[in-house]
Chains A and B, each alone.
Chain A
Amino acid sequence: MSKVYTWDQLFSRRQFIKGSVAAGVLGTAAGIGLFRPESNLGQGKSDQAAVKGTKLVTTICEQCVWRCGVIARVEDGVVKMLEGNPDHPNNLGKLCPRGNAGIETLYSPDRIKFPLIRAGARGSGLWRRASWDEALSYTAEQMKKIKDKYGAKAMMFNSTDNLSQPFFEILLKAYGTPNYGTQRSLCFNSMTTGFLYTYGTPQPGTDFSKCKYMIFTGRNLAEGISNSETQEMIEMVARGVKVVVLDPRFSKTASKATEWLPVRPGTDSAFFLAMINVIIKEKLYNEAFVNQYTQGFEDLVTEVKDYTPEWAEKKCEIPATAIRRIALDFAEAAPAAIAHPNWRTSNFVNSFQTERAIAVLNALMGNWAQPGGLIPDQELSTLKLGVLSHPAFPIAQGIRLDGVPWQYPMVPLAYGVIQTMRDNILTGKPYEAKGWLISRQNPVLSIPERQKTINALMKLDFVAVIDIQASDTAYYADVILPESYYLERFDGLIPIKNKIFIRQPVVEPLYDTKSSLMIYKELADKLGLGEFLPFKDEKDLLSQQLKPFAVDLEELQRVGHYEMEDFQEDHSKDFEFQTSSGKIEISSGIMAQMGKKAVPTWNEPPRPEKDQYYLLTGKTAQHTQMFTQNNRWLLEVFPENRAWLHTSVAAKIGVKMNDNVVLESEVGKVSVKAYVTEGIRPDCIFMVGGFGHVSKGLKAAYGLGASDSALHKTITDPISGGSALSETFVTVSKA
């Protein structure tokens, strides 16, 4: 029996140095955390000779989900610098702070360095080291036991956007469970469903380059960095384009905009319905486009008749004169005018209606596939990778725990409603869940009501987590399968238009870790499902993906991308809308079928009681969701989250900048530092998400800031499945 370790022992630097991967420390102990993996040098891969000296390796960043091109400079086997790849369209040679900080995550002393099996009560923090064979066999045995006793449906699979996700999906389908959890219902379900049921495509692009008028509502590109889109936004601002930002908080995007409108939370749809009212009344819509490509215009005319700017002002607190002026100017700029589909507009039950109103406003302008307007789905103009051939999947038995579609008929299966899955683990309805396999996702910190998620994990028979670090969810697992960091591994290839990009190891794995591709494959083997992931190793898989193209893997690895010449973009289906009517549905066929109002409409959102505040959450440019707070380079530039309070609120409760305040909602209470500012509505409190980690394995991040998930109530939009995070209200007091 191997030794039992606590988290502290496992992740102390002493343990790290003593660990089985013999590693020397480069620089002094107080240094920047760069470790030279001496024992690993020169093993395995082809270019052993290149260990001494400097080499450049092209790969794809994974500090967030945007997939930027990276060129890594490796000196004597140590990654010294990451720079943006100028040939990559997602970042055009630039890296954001998170991308620049990848090296610190790679060499972090808090990496999980070998497989771990729980050696005390769940959540006790006691572990023992296991071999890969033991950890994978143990995981497979538990999964088989659950399947034999309760059926495959009792096992849940969770993963988040990543390049190997398609192979995770193959594993779960081969296993035969219907229960698949993504992070989407915590993010932008209302945007994707709103556009899906209007245009038949969930996420149309936006042509910033020719746009003359942009309205952002919950797309904060200066702080929620999507590298290339953020660059496009900066260029647009520099060109002097009119940029209007609706946000209850003065975000950094708002500081760059030509106009900031501090809208009352949850009332954005009143603003857009009033814009539509003005545009129809003044006959400023594109009549020819509306006649040819849309359905339901007459119903819209009737619906918005009373949604005047004066009506909207009472709801959203944006002056009627401003709404009217913006409507007229926006229409004047059309079709080079965009009401951006946004991202995090999705925080109220009525956000689906907000997104529908935005989708319809764009349609009235006829900006579809026009310069400066919305861009149709690019799928037809994107190279198709070779696929693995495998047996037919078994038919998944049983309904889904997350209520899709039996409780949420309009939510696409691929999105799911993860907060309902969590709730139904606790209720045991419609059946008991028994096991959870979670790949690089952190539901403890992402789903509202953190304590409930911890309780759900405690209730299960078996929890396995695949991650690069000891996330809060890994802390409650039975087995942790350590994934190699992105700089150490391959993932599935990614085509972007006529180019194919590769993520590949920049250095050999520093520790006893594997790529998720191999973890999924070897787990499938142990489950007797190996024929569903028929590849020998990563290179074999990637070669199969490359089969349709005139390039071999070695060449792709060397160059970093493959470009198909003479590739013709296919726009023949730009105006074929994948809706039930084949048109842009101003009046939604599916909403009508469901017996709901088919055109965008107004639903009154809840408001805080006296002495309560809206709790708003959002991003910062320096961190990614719950993933990067342990990165010390990023903590240097964003050390902790704080509660934004309006100056008048701070004065009322006697709080100054950086004093501690207590925020309390119906479901939780946290203490956090105050950030006192004039840049927020006096009825709102804002905090960046992702802090307040409970895992003691995240030594740098543990104890910093507070988690919004400890405060958020679980409220779900029955149409989109979106988690209505901003319907949580809090009180605030001096700590």
Chain B
Amino acid sequence: MTVRMGFVIITSRCIDCDACMVACRSENDVPLGHTRNWVKSSGVQGQFPRVSEMFQPGNCMHCDNPPCVSVCPTGASQKRSDGIVIVEDKKCIGCKYCLTACPYDARFSNSETGKADKCTLCLHRLEQGLEPACVQTCLGKSRQAGDLNDPSSVVSRLIAQYPTRILLKEVGTGPNIYYIDEAVPDIPDGK
């Protein structure tokens, strides 16, 4: 079976510390003023004192049907065979079509290179057998990454065990970040 790389993000374990954002900036030399990933807050919901707040980390969803790839006029935006969506810098002409095409606002124009920029799932780390920087540093083990097609991966085991949701299901992009909101007491072992 083909590899399909993606994330599982357990929102109940996120404390909105933003360590993932700083680790990504450090690992990927992301210029100031831009970010490849984020933690969004629901804001404080409800009325004092019955309130709640939820934190939702995110980044490029490495979609099954990535609109950024289909609008790219030069073929710079690509979906790899392992599912990771990348930008091939040499081919990118900085037209920014992909920025507007992405319904998750996961891309930006790099002010230093002029190219489209985004999460690579830390491809260079994966190649060395390391976890993506955001996953490695996460204090709450909220962020998990791996092969969604491999039933023995952490991400597949989590998806098998807990109800999940995806963002903007209706637009049909087939995003590969699966969110779990329930409490997850134990992160399963796995690849």
Interface residues of A, Cβ cutoff 8 Å to B: 27-28, 30-32, 34, 80-84, 93-97, 99-101, 103, 222-223, 225, 227, 230-231, 234-235, 237-240, 250, 252-253, 255-256, 260, 262, 621-622, 632-634, 636-638, 646-647, 677-682
- How far does the Cβ of B41 sit from chain A's closest Cβ, in whole Å? 9
**Chain B: which residue is nearest A646 at the CB level?**
B48
Within 8 A of A (CB), among B51-72: 51-55
20 A-B pairs besides A95-B19, A96-B17 with CB distance below 8 A are: A27-B112, A81-B133, A84-B136, A94-B19, A101-B22, A234-B15, A234-B139, A234-B141, A238-B12, A238-B183, A239-B185, A252-B15, A255-B52, A260-B49, A621-B18, A633-B22, A647-B48, A679-B44, A679-B48, A682-B48
Set of chain A residues within 8 Å of B184, measured between Cβ atoms: 238
* CB–CB A621/B15 < 8 A: yes
Q: Which of B24-32, B78-86, B151-159 lies on the face that meets chain A?
A: B24-32
* CB–CB A636/B25 < 8 A: yes
Alpha-carbon distance between A680 and B49 when the two chains are bound, in angstroms: 8
* CB–CB B23/A680 < 8 A: no
Alpha-carbon distance between A681 and B19 when the two chains are bound, in angstroms: 29
* CB–CB B183/A240 < 8 A: yes
- How far does the Cβ of B160 sit from chain A's closest Cβ, in whole Å? 18
Supposing A30-B112, A238-B185, A679-B44 touch, asked if A252 and B16 sit within 8 A by C-beta, the answer is yes
Q: Is B129 an interface residue (CB 8 A)?
A: no
Instruction: Give 21 A-B contacts (CB < 8 Å), ordered by A residue.
Output: A80-B26, A84-B136, A94-B19, A95-B19, A95-B23, A97-B19, A97-B21, A97-B22, A99-B19, A103-B26, A222-B16, A238-B12, A238-B13, A255-B52, A255-B53, A255-B54, A621-B18, A636-B33, A638-B18, A679-B51, A680-B48
Set of chain A residues within 8 Å of B23, measured between Cβ atoms: 95, 100
**Which residue from B29, B133, B137, B139 sits with its C-beta under 8 Å from A225?**
B139
**Which residue from B44, B136, B185 sits with its C-beta under 8 Å from A677?**
B44
Set of chain A residues within 8 Å of B48, measured between Cβ atoms: 262, 646-647, 678-682
* CB–CB A250/B51 < 8 A: yes
* CB–CB B111/A30 < 8 A: yes
Alpha-carbon distance between A83 and B139 when the two chains are bound, in angstroms: 12
**Chain B: which residue is nearest A621 at the CB level?**
B17
Set of chain A residues within 8 Å of B22, measured between Cβ atoms: 97, 100-101, 633-634, 636-637
* CB–CB B183/A633 < 8 A: no
Q: Is B140 an interface residue (CB 8 A)?
A: yes
Alpha-carbon distance between A262 and B141 when the two chains are bound, in angstroms: 29
Alpha-carbon distance between A27 and B113 when the two chains are bound, in angstroms: 11
A-B pairs with lowest CB-CB distance, top 5: A679-B44, A222-B15, A100-B22, A621-B17, A637-B18
* CB–CB A622/B47 < 8 A: no
Set of chain B residues within 8 Å of A227, measured between Cβ atoms: 139
**Chain A: which residue is nearest B187 at the CB level?**
A238
- How far does the Cβ of A186 sit from chain B's closest Cβ, in whole Å? 24
* CB–CB A679/B53 < 8 A: yes
Set of chain A residues within 8 Å of B49, measured between Cβ atoms: 260, 262
Set of chain B residues within 8 Å of A634, measured between Cβ atoms: 22
Alpha-carbon distance between A81 and B112 when the two chains are bound, in angstroms: 20
- How far does the Cβ of B122 sit from chain A's closest Cβ, in whole Å? 11
- How far does the Cβ of B67 sit from chain A's closest Cβ, in whole Å? 27
Alpha-carbon distance between A28 and B32 when the two chains are bound, in angstroms: 12
* CB–CB B47/A31 < 8 A: no
* B136-152 near A? 1/0 per residue, CB < 8 Å: 11111100000000000
* CB–CB A252/B53 < 8 A: yes
* CB–CB B18/A97 < 8 A: yes
Set of chain A residues within 8 Å of B30, measured between Cβ atoms: 32
Alpha-carbon distance between A239 and B25 when the two chains are bound, in angstroms: 32
* CB–CB B47/A678 < 8 A: yes
Alpha-carbon distance between A262 and B47 when the two chains are bound, in angstroms: 13
- How far does the Cβ of B158 sit from chain A's closest Cβ, in whole Å? 13
Alpha-carbon distance between A678 and B53 when the two chains are bound, in angstroms: 11
**Which residue from B19, B32, B140 sits with its C-beta under 8 Å from A632?**
B32
> Which interface residue of B22, B140, B141, B183 has the most chain A CB atoms within 10 A?
B22
**Chain B: which residue is nearest A636 at the CB level?**
B32
